[in-house]
Amino acid sequence: MTTEELRRHFLIDGLFTPGRVEMVYTDLDRLIAGGIMPDREAELPAYEELASSYFTERRELGVVNIGDPGEVRVGRSTYPLEHLDCLYIGIGEPQISFRNTDQGQSAFYLLSAPAHRKLPTCAAGIAAASVHEIGTAEHASRRKLVQYIHEGGIQSCQLVMGYTTMEEGSVWNTWPPHTHPRRSEIYLYFGLGENQIIHLAGEPTQSRHLVVRDRQAVVSPPWSIHTGVGTGPYSFIWGMAGENRTFADMDPVALDTFA
């Protein structure tokens, strides 16, 4: 593929537009990625592509607020979300809306996958998350991993979701590269400012790259490598769906075959 073709098929841009609900439906485990920046309050619509009467009729939903404080209303319950707080919404919730507060502009990132059973709606901040310091400064990969929706945290049918923040002086989000043969993944990069990410993708012996800017997302198929490097500090939300919810289920790439 040319650079233009790679970006058209694997890069998601324009998710965060003030006053709009933006959604992208992928064929990778039927994941949907979305962004909502409500002027005041925005309802989660149903879409013809889902052939359902409401969005979560057969789907679960993970939400992370990457903006200023906001609220999510699920039925009669209201869930305040501070910056980087997470909310899981199970199937069977016909009324979901996103509300901006008077404290700035909230920006809700959404990731959704098909679900087969009802699980309770659950909100969590970093105090309730599983947090791990991983990587090394020597390899410029020291980072904080925050797990929200996973087998040891918020329960889901198949969603796994959290975020990673790079420590000062570190720029590699993982090394060596790995693949997820049993799961698809979408990365949302944020907090870049003017920095850029070189996201490496493709088969291990046929690598490609995408230049990624603030609040752009990358769709990563199961056969694609996962790794990237930035020109400065950044964070990214990772979200997966597929065969299992085991976060560590990944296959490292042998560096003598990486090309």
Is residue 174 assigned to a domain?
yes
For tokens 């694997």, name the residue.
Answer: 10
Domain boundary among 69, 97, 125: 125
**Residue 204's CATH number:** 2.60.120.10
Name, in order, each residue with C-beta under 8 angstroms of 173's C-beta and a sequence gap of 6 or more: 141, 143, 164, 166, 227, 228, 229, 230, 236
On whether both 149 and 196 belong to a single domain, the answer is yes
Give the residue numbers spanning the domain of 70: 13-125
C-alpha–C-alpha distance, residues 196 and 111, integer Å = 23
Please check whether residue 258 lies inside any domain of the structure: no
Measured CA angle at 74 (ends 68, 75), to 5 deg:
145
Q: pTM for the whole thing?
A: 0.96
Residue 72 Cα distances to 17, 44, 81, 123, 215, angstroms: 18, 10, 7, 10, 21
Instruction: Please classify residue 52 by burial: count the beta carbons closer than 10 Å to its beta carbon, then call 0-12 exposed, 13-18 middle and 19+ buried.
Output: middle
- Residue 10, SS3 per DSSP: helix
Query: Which residue type sits at 20?
Result: R
- State the virtual CA torsion across 217, 23, 110, 181 in degrees, nearest 10: -60
- For 26-58, how does the pLDDT look when each residue is reduced to its tens digit (9 = 90+)? 999 999 999 999 999 999 999 999 999 999 999
| Claim to verify: residue 79 and residue 132 sit in the same structural domain | no
**Per-residue pLDDT tens over the stretch 140-164:** 999 999 999 999 999 999 999 999 9
Cβ atoms within 10 Å, residue 180: 20
Query: For residue 152, is it within any domain?
Result: yes
Instruction: Let me know whether 167 and 237 are in one domain.
Output: yes
Count of domains observed in the chain: 2
Q: How many residues does the chain have?
A: 259
Note whether 147 and 246 are same-domain residues: yes
Same domain assignment for residues 133 and 20? no
Q: What is the pLDDT of residues 171-196, one digit of tens each?
A: 999 988 999 999 999 999 999 999 99
| 192-229 confidence digits (pLDDT tens) | 999 999 999 999 999 999 999 999 999 999 999 999 99
